[in-house]
Structure 1
Amino acid sequence: TAAFRKFAVHGDTKATGKELNGKNWAKLCKDCKIIDGKNITGTDVDIVFSKVK
């Protein structure tokens, strides 16, 4: 989707928009309010990214 591509290239001039790095995954989770600081933290989404990657 277009939203995925925008997050995938955010801050990375060499990004193709087809892959999402860990930093931008965390930004997506924060901006979409998945990270709430209570039930789900930045560390949690980092762990998920590492396991799926």
Structure 2
Amino acid sequence: MGAVLTLLGVVACPITLGDAAFRSVQFRIADALRIKQDAIVKHSFIVIRYLSFVLS
């Protein structure tokens, strides 16, 4: 039981929190630039630019 809780605390929680933070920043960028994210192309435009900034 301890191993399962450790895996959840060390692996699962940070991944889900990071995903939520990434999504939050994406929405903030879209709101600041007044970009509607109704099309997948516009959504991808923001995600790719932000991801390239984070990874560099």
| TM beyond 0.5 | no
Specify the structure having the higher radius of gyration (Cα). Answer: 2
TM-score, with length taken from structure 2: 0.40
The normalised TM-score by structure 1 is: 0.41
